[in-house]
Structures are given as structure tokens and as C-alpha cells.
Structure 1
Amino acid sequence: MSEAASPVELRRGAPPTPAALHTDRHQDLYPDPNARLEREDPHGLGETPEQHAAHASIATKKLWGLDRRQETYLFYFWMIVSLCCEITAAVLGWRYHTWSYPFIGVMTGFMVTYWAAWFQTATGMVQRASWIREEADLATRRQFLYLAVRLNRLMLPAALVGLATFIPAYVQRHKHPHDLPYWLLFLLTFIWNAVFSVMNAYNNITWESDRMKYEDGEQPFRIGKLAILGIPSPKQKNTNGKEREGKEI
């Protein structure tokens, strides 16, 4: 490896070598922007050791006093129950009409559990939003992206059930002319879920996934099209040919 040029050589007009330009003092002032400090801890490209230590010490945010595992279990409980209630309400409404007590009870259960899961996830996203967090805190940004993906996992199935119920009910509406609320309720269910999922995909999922692709290429939702559908990206292989799988947060 060539040694740094002396000041005399530089004064004589000899072209400076890269080693002469990149002295130890230069490295201290201008750290390599592509260097990572550690792979496990939250960090951004080009962080100084002090910044890295500050970001690594950031505590994980809690939602409603629950840790990450408990909060995730609670969300999927709300989600599964709401989807079952929506499907059951579609069947009961077709058979007993919307003024029947079974339909009213199950449809109310769908609304309660669905919006509980929706607001739970939206609250977590607000806690980690761009106007609150530090952009160099990749751990919080990974959590935000995961919550945005999880929100679409809630809304897309609800939209599909609403559309699948609305189409036959609207086509055969002449058979039940006095049951307008049946197909109208499921039409509104499809509309609000479709609109919110598209807005979430554009404003949150693809935006954050594309940005993190260059800073944290190993995160499990690096492929935006799959992330919109709530599907993790395929496993990656490292330079040794071994598979590497990202974990959801």
C-alpha cells in the first residue's frame, strides 16, 4: 500500500495520491457514508459512534402498555374475529335480512372488532411517524413499516368480503326491494377498505420500503408490491450462499 505524499512532494507539483488526500484527520471529519457500525443494532449509514450509541439506546415504544408480542397477539385476535363476523353477517343478512337480531348482533361485533384492530395499528403508526421519530433510527422505521403492512392485512380481506357480498346482493336486489341496507352496508365496507388500503400503500408502505431499500436492504418487506399485499419478501442469500431471512417486527 502506497504511503501518503509528503508536503514537499505536493509543493513540487506532483499529483496527490488518494492516500495523501484521505488522511486519518480526513477520516475523522468525513466518515465513510456507506459504512455500517453493527448489523444488529439500529443505525443509519454514515453515523458516528456517538450517534450510533444514542440510537442504539432508544427504548422500544409500547402501545397501551403492552409489549410487542402481546400487542401483536391482540391485533390478530381482533382481526380474525372481525373477519369471521363479517363473513357470518353476510350469510345471516342474505338469509334473515338486515332487520333480524342475529344480523344486527354479528354486524355490530364486526364493526367493534374491526375498528379496534384498525385504531390499535393506526395508534402504533402515529407513535412512530416521521414527524416524531429520528430518521436515522432504523429500528423505529422498521416497526412503522411493519405496522403499515399489518394495516393492509386487516383491510384487504375485509374489502374482498365486502365486494364478494355486494355484487350478488346488488344483482338480485329486485328480490328483496325492502332490504336496501344489506348491499349498501357491504358496498360501504368495500369502499372504505379499498380507499384506505390504497392510501396506506402509497403514502406509507411503498414510500418507506423504497427509502429503506438503500439503508436496510435486509428488512423483510423490501419488495413493495408484496408488502402492499401483506406478504413478506422472499429469503435472501448472502455471499456465502446461505439463506438469510428477515424477521417481522
Structure 2
Amino acid sequence: MAEAAAPIERRNGAPPLPAALSEDNRHNIYPDPNKPLDPGDPHGLGETPEQHAAHASIATRKLWGMDRRQENYLFYVWMISSLCLLIAAAVIGRYYRTWHPAFIGVMTAFMVTHWAGWLQTAVGMAQRASWVREEADLETRKQYLYLAVRLNRLMLPTAIIGLSTFIPGYVDRDDTPHDLPYWLLFLLIFIWNAVFSVMNAYNNITWESDRLEFEGGEQPFRITKLAILGLPSPKEKFSSGKQREGKEI
């Protein structure tokens, strides 16, 4: 009778793995690479069912003492207020110029609300970033992805308003030669939001969405093109086990 294979010692003092989950073959447990990992099975990172249950019981992180619902409501107050204020600033600046007290006050209020929503989301992402979480903690990673998508929900509409205001302002610049700050300010608003949203899409949304779909199965932002636009994906439907809605395996 053949002897059972000895457990595989792991680096950095981690618990030993069974031979079937060695460092070399732990990512090849399933012969079908299209099969989503089941929470009851050993995790794709070498996690045992006991470790998976422990990660599932990790308490939800709070931001500034608020739970997720309260924090979400506050963000959308910042977001809707900032977009309305930016549109108002574009109209006021067009007719009363940028040196008018009304424009200065509205633009200042826009900056406060926009950056409040931006920093609130960025702090939440930092609380769940890869350097402070365990990669096997799927729930925290899903929260991180949601916050990254939410950040683009703030930046993309802001960039569109900035560009829509800059273009006519720049075209009519000869009619208002003494109001250079008007179109220049909205150009800067467009640039910083467009650049940050592209960086966020590349570094956070696409990367985390693809990994979560493989390791965690169904998740609301599995179609990355929609996630980049801040939109959730339609519910997943399987057809012949080879194709999922919106994405071919």
C-alpha cells in the first residue's frame, strides 16, 4: 500500500499544504478552467474551507464611524451637489464672468463637494487596498471594486461637463478676451477627472473585476467596460457552459 504524500512546507511560516495543494499545482485543482470556484472547496489561493469561513466572518470596515449605507448616502449627496454646482458655475461664468462673486462662491462650493466625495471614496479604497487586506478576503475585495467603480461615477460626469463647457468657451474666447480663466478652469477640470478616471479604470477596475470573476464567481461588475462607466453588469446567464452574457470564456 502506497504511503500518503507528506504535507508541503510553505514559506514565511505559513501552515503546510496537502500534497494536492502544493505550491506548484494549487492553481490547477480543477481540470475545467471555466468552472467558478465554489466557496466550499479549497480556495484558488490555497485556502482551506476553515480559512474561507474565517475570512467570511471578517467584520465590515467602517469609514468615519459610518456603516456602508450611511457612507453611500453621504457620497451621493456630495456627488449630486457637486455636479449641480458645476453646471451652475458654467452658466454663471458664461454670463457674469469669472470675477463675479456668484461665480467664485459657486465654484468654491463645487470644489468642496467634489473633493469631499473624491476623498471619501479614496479613503475607503485605501482601507481595503491590497497592502492592508488578505487576498483571500473576497468580500473586502468586492467592496474595493465597488468603491473604484463609484469613483468613476463621480469623475466621468464631471469630466463631461468640464469638456462641454470648455469647448464653447474656447471657441468664443475672442469675444471675452479678458476672461481667460473661464475656459482654462473648465479645461483643467476636464483634464484631471479624465486622467484620474483612466488611471482608476486601468489600475483598479479592470484588474480587480477580472480576478474576482474567476475567484469569486458572480459579482455585479464582471463586464469591465460597463464598470468603467460606473454601470453594473446584467445578471449572468450561462449558455452551454462556454459563454457568459457579455463575456466569452
* TM-score, normalised by the number of residues in structure 2: 0.81
**In the alignment, what sits opposite 2:38?**
36
1:154 maps to what in 2? Answer: 154
Q: Which ranges in structure 1 are unaligned for 5 or more consecutive residues?
A: 1-5, 8-20, 240-249
**C-alpha distance 77-166 of structure 1, shift in aligned 2 (>3 A):** same
Q: Quote the residue 2:214 is aligned against.
A: 214
Listed as ranges, the matches of 1:28-107 within 5 Å are 30=20, 33=29, 36-38=38-40, 44-45=43-44, 46-107=46-107
Find the residue that maps to 1:30 and give its secondary structure: helix
* Aligned positions of 1:173-212 closer than 5 A: 173-212=173-212
Q: Distance in 2 between matches of 1:237 and 1:133?
A: 31
Which secondary structure does the structure 2 equivalent of 1:173 belong to? coil
The letter for the 2-side match of 1:145 is L
**Structure 2 contact 156–197 (Cα < 8 Å) conserved:** yes
Residue of structure 2 equivalent to 1:246 = none
How far residue 28 of structure 1 moved from its aligned partner, in angstroms, is: 6.0
SS across alignment from 2:174: helix
Q: 1:233 and 2:223 equivalent?
A: no
**RMSD over aligned Cα, in angstroms?**
2.8
Displacement of 1:236: 1.4
Cross-structure match for 1:169: 169
- What residue identity is the alignment partner of 1:130? S
Equivalence for 2:14: none
Larger-gyration structure (1/2): 1
Measured after TM superposition, the shift of residue 100 of structure 1 is 0.7
Deviation at 1:237, TM superposition (A): 2.9
Partner AA of 2:236 in structure 1: Q
For the residues of structure 1 that align with 2:205 and 2:18, how far apart are their CA atoms?
Answer: 36
TM-score of the two chains, using structure 1 as the length reference: 0.81
In the TM superposition, what whole-angstrom CA distance separates every residue of 1:153-185 from its partner, at most 9, and x where no partner exists? Answer: 000000000000000000000000000110011
Deviation at 1:29, TM superposition (A): 5.0
Letter in 2 for 1:181: P
C-alpha deviation, 1:22, in angstroms: 9.5
Q: Identity across aligned pairs (percent)?
A: 69
Query: What are the ranges of 5 or more consecutive residues in structure 2 without an aligned counterpart?
Result: 8-16, 31-36, 240-249
Contact 1:93 1:103 (8 Å CA) reproduced: yes
TM-superposed deviation, 1:134: 0.3
Q: Tell me the amino acid that sits aligned with residue 36 of structure 1.
A: D
